[in-house]
Structure 1
Amino acid sequence: MSTAPDQPRRPPRPAAEACPADGNAQVREGAGQPRNRADACPGALRLHPADDGALARVRIPGGVLTAAQAQRLGEAARRFGDGDVHLTSRGNVQLRGLGAACGADMAQLLGAAGLLPSAAHERVRNIVASPLSGLDGRGHLDVGEWLRALDGLLCGSGTAAALSGRFLFALDDGRGDVAALAPDVTLRAAPDGTALLRVGRNPALRLPAADAPRAALLAAEAFVTSAAPDGGEPTAWRVADLPDRGAALTAALADRLTAPPATEPTPPSASPDPTRGKAAPTPPSDSPALGPIPHPATPGGPLALSVLAPLGRLTPTQWRALTALAARTPAAHLRLTPWRGAVVPGVPADRAQEELAALAAAGLVTDTASPWVGVSACAGRPGCAKSLADVRADAAALVHPAPGDSAPARPLPVHWSGCSRGCGRPRTGDRVDVVATSGGYRVDLFRTGAPPRGAHPRPSDLAATVAAARRGAPIE
């Protein structure tokens, strides 16, 4: 395990190229801070140079892919990149190890698959949606219609094309999963059939559910105006960058939509398990439970199969297994999750265990008790020049400890970062951060309502410190 970074480091790239590995840098607390440069977030048409080759980020609104689209993505990864499909914390896909001259051919392949409906908007289609909406009996509304409507409106808006590649929409069916990801604009289904619109962390507004997608677009367009009031270069990439963090924007929307304020409900702490009639353990960060997921309204009917990709990386074999399974179902689609997993709906109940076993044999995580659950990492070395360590290898070493070592406890999610930027780090909730520094790793424990606790352990103590932090034990 590499616990002390090598020296010397490569010099950092110019600021104009700097960009979080999946657009999910930490939300800052306090007053907003203006941006003084253009957003350089990569896309499918704007490649980002990395140490392992160029990087493309393909936006997948709501994580929803047809089986045919998934097959073409796998083809692009094999033809142009390292062969793997890399999942981000927004349910998008990254292709890594790309050749510098592949851009036009890759864009043609992705465009033919329907993955680039608007070249002007391909970086701004950042929409997360409750992955199990309509599949498990939870939630107050199937957000599929919201997703299709919002994506269409977004791609048809000239104003919205000016959004940064980091601006995030969330469509929450009421369970509170994606609403907890600190989006810029949130639509959340309410128990009374209405929708709650929230801008940043400001109070929510109540409006008719049918009006929700257009209201979300209006919020985004109003943000563009607020971020560049003189029509020049935007001074804000996200709502949190605005001086008032979107308070005035929320007030203006309330007047324009004649939408009264509303109190958002508290999400449940556990997922109901229709097969047992009691609450089942919820994986970290409100991610979907793994394995077969039945719908209580259709006993014995088709199931959804939920799996996790270790550290968000799907090998060609794993991606083919997922897409082939999706192609065998009536709906022929799959859903990527913001927790670097995938859900395949519509699997016949009599085939579910066989199909799940095949996915597990391919190396996908199918059991919530797996030590991989809750473990995430940035790209790290050798792919990122800014990284101080091979964080993926070091994270895997603790998931699979050496003989005689005890596996770490798993109650809190843990994210491994190769530098202080924290690319891909969870935005909210209790968590453990393991960050590479010039002198080794630092371990920080974040608990809601408590001050952060941190330690800079010796290499020989790293496993024990991470395990203690994941249990929520005090660390020094």
Structure 2
Amino acid sequence: MLAAMSTAPLRPSPQATAAPRDRGDACPGSLRLHAADDGALARVRLPGGVLTVRQAGALAAAARDLGDGDLHLTSRGNVQLRGLADGCGAALAALLGAAGLLPSPGHERVRNVVASPLSGLDGRGAGDVRPWLTALDAALCASGAARDLSGRFLFALDDGRGDVAGLDADVTVRAVAGGRAVLGLGTPHPVLSVAAADAPRAAVVAAEAFLHRVRESGTKAWRITELPLAPGALADEVRRRLTAEGVGHEPWHGGAAPEDTAGGPPPGVIGSALSVHIPLGRLSGLQWRELTHVAAAAGPGELRLTPWRGAVVPAPDLGPAASDAALARLSAAGLVTGPGSPWLRVGACVGRPGCAKSRADVRADAASALGAAGRSALPLYWSGCERRCGHPRGDRVDVVAAPGGGYDLTTVRGGRETPGVSLTDPTHLATALAAFPSA
């Protein structure tokens, strides 16, 4: 049943504001596992979400032999392995290392890079960021200072279309016309311009400048937005360091960057690629094998996981008939391959039983209320508690498990939260949305 419309102001989401850090960075990685309620958890960084078919096979083997058998995608295009047994760390590290997924153990938690997943595949954008991705990862792993970055520090490589520029990265590199790239620091708005070939090095320099300022300030900032600096101070530091390294740069005088686009690639055939959406970001072993099989037959043998819980398969060798057959195969495995699916409008955190802080099995409740997604004016994101882990950027309805059972609904528009209604039974979600004018 529905409670009365709430009029009390909501407290800000803990993930929406910077907080002082009074503890070390406990962000999990491949070598530093996190103890969750369903077993140990490993987060495998995949810069740009890119992995080969061989590496995909190694992840499948790790999930099957050491974990719960599934692969869980994150909002940064990384993969989490859950349900890992105690004492499996050495076996996991050996398996990942043999597949080339641990190029530098000392940097494994800081290789957080999102990149335009369709770059070079659909004829859009001002440049192909795929070479940037390889160069940035190599430069990051070669930087001794970069080992001290937080596991939450994020780089974004945007090919000019504006898809990953809006993901709140710490360093945003965006391709622009004329063989140039622009850098944003803690914001997608550019502050300086460099030659496209120098973009990866400039991004690492920006991260090193951030770390220098962290040490000088005596703070424990993990993200650029948490650093107490006067406006422009970090940009000045970056310029000085680029000059010292002989990297040419200019102030950005091109005005505001193009508008960011909303969301990731739609499912279907896009240029020379296939795109699918993965419901709730969770892939069974069978689904992962089917996706890998299609990637192997498509030409380059590459997968690109997206920050929107999707996957892009470069498929230059597949004609129209073969592409349709591949999508049909993936659809039969339970992946979303075309528009119209309500799964495109639903997301959720891991919930119970994996998270001790969760008040509900939000994934099961989201699945049972799937039909209500089509009645909402905004996408729905289900969270087991007020932390709203993994929530998407942009307008949405937050469905948050409440103390004592039930869910609280709030609308997020333009970063502002509007109080909503409460419901005690998820099956009444459609009715709640209908009674929720701001939704």
Calculate the TM-score normalised by the size of structure 1: 0.83
Match 2:357 to one of 386, 393, 401: 386
Partner Cα distance (2:157, 2:273) in 1: 20
RMSD of Structure 2 on Structure 1 (CA)? 2.3
- Structure 1 residues 311 and 78, CA gap change in structure 2 (3 angstroms): same
Single out whichever of 455-464 and 90-99 deviates more from structure 2: 455-464
- Structure 1 residues 158 and 367, CA gap change in structure 2 (3 angstroms): same
Question: Does structure 2 retain, via aligned residues, the 8 Å contact 1:174–1:267?
Answer: no
Single out whichever of 78-87 and 407-416 deviates more from structure 2: 407-416
Determine helix, strand or coil for the equivalent of 2:152. coil
Partner Cα distance (2:280, 2:237) in 1: 41
The answer to whether residue 435 in structure 2 is matched with residue 465 in structure 1 is no
Question: Does structure 1 retain, via aligned residues, the 8 Å contact 2:394–2:415?
Answer: no
The answer to whether residue 72 in structure 2 is matched with residue 102 in structure 1 is no
Partner Cα distance (2:433, 2:230) in 1: 34
Match 1:265 to one of 257, 261, 267: 257
TM alignment of 1:366-385, pairs within 5 A: 366-385=337-356
> In the alignment, which residue of structure 2 is the partner of 1:20?
none
Calculate the TM-score normalised by the size of structure 2: 0.90
Determine helix, strand or coil for the equivalent of 1:265. coil
Deviation at 1:34, TM superposition (A): 2.9
TM alignment of 1:231-246, pairs within 5 A: 235-244=220-229
> In the alignment, which residue of structure 2 is the partner of 1:317?
286
Partner Cα distance (1:250, 1:465) in 2: 47
Q: Which runs of 5+ in 2 are unaligned?
A: 4-12, 243-248
Question: Does structure 2 retain, via aligned residues, the 8 Å contact 1:33–1:242?
Answer: no
Number of equivalent positions = 418
1:249 corresponds to which letter in structure 2?
Answer: L
> In the alignment, which residue of structure 2 is the partner of 1:339?
308
Deviation digits for residues 247-283 of structure 1, max 9, x if unmatched?
42123223444430343322376xxxxxxxxxxxxxx
1:55 corresponds to which letter in structure 2?
Answer: L
> In the alignment, which residue of structure 1 is the partner of 2:6?
none
Question: Does structure 1 retain, via aligned residues, the 8 Å contact 2:346–2:373?
Answer: no
> In the alignment, which residue of structure 1 is the partner of 2:76?
90
Partner Cα distance (2:263, 2:173) in 1: 17
Match 2:400 to one of 423, 435, 459: 435
Match 2:238 to one of 253, 260, 279: 253
Deviation at 1:429, TM superposition (A): 1.8
1:457 corresponds to which letter in structure 2?
Answer: L
Match 2:202 to one of 215, 230, 235: 215
Deviation at 1:35, TM superposition (A): 1.1
- Structure 1 residues 218 and 78, CA gap change in structure 2 (3 angstroms): same
Question: Does structure 2 retain, via aligned residues, the 8 Å contact 1:133–1:141?
Answer: yes
Partner Cα distance (1:245, 1:339) in 2: 33
- Structure 1 residues 243 and 407, CA gap change in structure 2 (3 angstroms): closer
Determine helix, strand or coil for the equivalent of 2:32. coil
Q: Which runs of 5+ in 1 are unaligned?
A: 5-23, 270-284, 295-302
Single out whichever of 143-152 and 187-196 deviates more from structure 2: 187-196
Single out whichever of 192-201 and 131-140 deviates more from structure 2: 192-201
The answer to whether residue 15 in structure 2 is matched with residue 26 in structure 1 is yes
Match 1:356 to one of 320, 327, 330: 327
Match 2:142 to one of 156, 160, 164: 156
Deviation digits for residues 157-212 of structure 1, max 9, x if unmatched?
01000000000000000111101100000000113331110000265312211111
Deviation digits for residues 222-254 of structure 1, max 9, x if unmatched?
111122227x7x610111211238742123223
Deviation at 1:137, TM superposition (A): 1.0
Deviation digits for residues 352-385 of structure 1, max 9, x if unmatched?
1111000000010111211000311111001110
1:286 corresponds to which letter in structure 2?
Answer: G
